Structure 1
Amino acid sequence: MTTSIIKTQAINQDLSNSQLRLKDIIKTLPKECFQQNRRKAWTQVFFNVLMVGLGYYSLAISPWFLLPLAWIFTGTALTGFFVIGHDCGHRSFAKRRWVNDLVGHIFMMPLIYPFHSWRIKHNHHHKHTNKLDEDNAWHPIRPEVFANWGKTRQSAFELFMKRRLWWVGSIGHWAVVHFDWRNFKVKDQGSIKLSVAVVAIFAAVVFPTLIATTGIWGFIKFWFIPWMVYHFWMSTFTIVHHTFPDVPFDKASKWNEAMAQLFGTIHCDYPRWVEFLCHDINVHVPHHISTAIPSYNLRLAYSSIKENWGNYLHDEFKFSWPLMKQITDQCQLYITDEGYQTFNEYYAGK
């Protein structure tokens, strides 16, 4: 048994014995972590719009050999748009709900992301983080579920993991989950229809205009490829936040909320320019302790969490190709109460 698994079990037992609750952790955080600062929030907006504008300007003037750099910069800056919408979805951007809803729709609109659809599904993820059959973010596939899939679906999933195509994972989630209002409660369907209509109108106006003025290549150059870069970061942040060989996903009967948010949420450092453009969304542990913490206060909150609850935290990582290789190579299927197994281990045991 590896040291990391032993640590996981020891932490789980400790939390179970102490009956630690999430609100106990929240009480130890400085009050400043929860204070909304209008100047900081709108400064983020200003600089984010400026960076996206700079990105599109670079796309317009760059020679072909510099376009990849311009695409990476622009797509990463657009990820910052999503993070602003993310704060709005958690009502941590502004005190007034209508401001959160308006800003959220505006900043998710260019990404063709229905704001209320995402907000409702994402809040469900926070309530059920790392809970089997409930967490609707990047959740593991159990062998018994995989066995009931058809050969085509099994092969597609194996290809997805073995070829390390994690970076397109959020596109499937976006397309399948967020546009059909029938998948939501009746009381929420009006809001879902509104958000879907907003992005549909944006696409109906902007896409034909872009194609008419710049051609199909212009559409690919100015929207599609930056959008793909955004999804690279969206997929990467999502999988890294809660996935590693020793990070447990538990049944509801064994699930511990404090364990899920402390040890089941991973801090990963990225290049500082990425963290700047994406508003420190990688400092993710405090966000799972309380969604009321604005993004500009995440580092302050994380310092406090490390000081008071460091023994319960997962090891930190630096974003790298070996890290992503380890996750995709080892975290392929998930055996309840045991942990991850690879496809090779699955087939060997049949």
Structure 2
Amino acid sequence: MEATTSFRTEVGCSSVLHNAGTAIRFRQMNRGTPLRFCTRSTATAGPQLPARQRVLSAKRLICKAAAAAPAVAAPSDAGRLSAEDRAALAQELGYRSIGADLPDTVSLTQVISSLPREVFEINPLRAWGAVATTVVSVALSVYLISISPWYMLPFAWAFAGTAWTGMFVIGHDCGHRSFSKNKLVEDIVGTLMFMPLIYPFEPWRIKHNHHHAHTNKLVEDTAWHPAGKAELERWGTVQKTLFKVFLGSPLKLWASVGHWWLWHFNLDLYTDKQKPRVLVSLAAVAAFAFIGIPAIGYFTGLAGVAKYWLMPWLGYHFWMSTFTVVHHTAPHIPFKPADEWNAAKAQLSGTVHCDYPRWVEFLCHDINVHVPHHVNSKIPWYNLRAATDSLRQNWGQYMTEASWNWRMMKYIFTELHVYDEQQNYVPFDYEKEEPFYWIQRKVLPSTM
């Protein structure tokens, strides 16, 4: 039976539509009473409207009484909606498509088995070609910085930060053992590529592989794990304020700096067996930090260190944060406790494919083509597009896709903060709207 959609609130809840058409903010006045998407039969719902109009009309409706029919949380349970309504919700939230719920009976092994065998093949020419591309791009960025007048430096730094991200992606393939059939070569290349980024290769490899094994699993995942309400309440004022400022604003696009520092330099996070290799990686980045960077300063001065290293490094972290937060943070993608976690859902449906300007994708070696990488991390970067095409043919209805846009990013900045088991995320000010977020919701544009 065809269904229409409407929103319902339970006592004390309200829905607020900000800036006439931006993604909706759901605000709770009482905890435990989340806003809901409802489905009601046409017999009780009244005249039919087009799906898009039904959803938008529903968003403007504030109900005083609960609807009689069962409800599913929105947008956290978007996968249960009809294809039409998922499309409408995707458009409203800034996504190209939102996937349906993957059946519980589908295993990750089934998804992997559907991929053509050739996408797993390592091509040394393509692999080393990427190294050459990145080395030339980084060298070109240094030259552009050296000749640019002050007013052109931001453009040179943007190019440099993107080229530097290419170094990370090559090391990333080395860490996943998809660069070469020789592990020693991968360790050497990965370490060298990570050195200018002051990123210790082995600590990153260990923690990153843990992220792949536990993607979007509560407690275990090491990437963009949201804080819980109880955890937030235990924090002191300073810690809570810093957390809110850096993860609840556009500064979130440099939050990977904090992740880099907290996760990769503390030996207590690694086992005795892991520590010798970890120490080698730490020695490599220490060599660059205490020899390479001072050498830059010797020839160009302190301003030269900022000009030739710090600004490109911050540009790299912009892309590092942007790519990863878009990959794994979305209103309809849940973090799950271990007893409810499903590997196939987490890797296929819990990872977002996002298209960026082609020059960015070229310099960053298609790191944005991320769904097949999470289905199986042994796929080399240059085969990710073919693997994505295969996944679309076989599992496309369960995938979330987007083109990088301001509406999606604004929603991530202002709404997706605190873990909530019913809604996936609620904003930091879910109980009472705070001026810091109110200003952002009013000032930040929904399109650009």
* Displacement of 1:337: 4.2
- Aligned pair partner of 2:368 in 254, 257, 282: 282
Q: Pick from 408, 414, 425: which aligns with 1:329? A: 414
Q: Partners in 2 of 1:244 and 1:137 — Cα distance? A: 13
Task: Note the 1:1-350 alignment, pairs <5 A.
Answer: 1-2=36-37, 4-9=75-80, 15-16=103-104, 18=105, 20-314=106-400, 316-347=401-432
Shift of 1:4: 4.7
Given that 1:251 and 1:336 are in contact with CA atoms closer than 8 Å, whether structure 2 keeps it comes out as no
What SS class does the counterpart of residue 280 from structure 1 fall into?
Answer: coil
- The runs of 5 or more residues in structure 1 that have no matched partner are none
**TM (normalized to structure 2)?**
0.75
Q: Distance in 1 between matches of 2:315 and 2:241?
A: 26
Contact 1:182/1:189, CA 8 A, preserved across alignment = no
Q: Distance in 1 between matches of 2:317 and 2:247?
A: 17
Shift of 1:153: 1.1
C-alpha displacement at 1:338, in angstroms?
3.5
Q: Alpha-carbon deviation of 1:324?
A: 1.1
Larger Rg: 2
SS at match of 2:337: coil
Aligned 8 A contact 2:100 2:398 in 1: no
- Please tell me whether the aligned partners of residues 143 and 346 of structure 1 are also in contact (alpha carbons under 8 angstroms): no
CA distance in 1, matches of 2:276, 2:136: 33
| Structure with the larger helix share | 1
Task: State, as a whole percentage, how many aligned pairs show the same letter.
Answer: 48
Deviation at 1:320, TM superposition (A): 2.2
1:230 CA drift (Å)? 0.2
Partners of 1:337 and 1:131 in 2: how far apart?
15
2:102 and 2:359 map into 1 onto residues whose CA distance is: 38
State how far apart, in whole Å, the 1-side matches of 2:174 and 2:422 are: 36
The structural deviation recorded for 1:13 is 6.6
Determine the C-alpha separation between the residues in 2 that align with 1:160 and 1:202.
28
1: distance between equivalents of 2:406 and 2:327? 16
CA distance in 1, matches of 2:321, 2:101: 32
Alpha-carbon offset, residue 162 of structure 1:
3.4
Which blocks of at least 5 consecutive residues in structure 2 are unaligned? 1-35, 38-73, 82-98, 434-448
Q: Number of matched residues?
A: 345
Cα 1:242/1:14, change in 2 over 3 Å? closer
Moved runs in structure 1, 4+ residues, more than 3 A? 1-7, 9-14
Higher strand share: 2
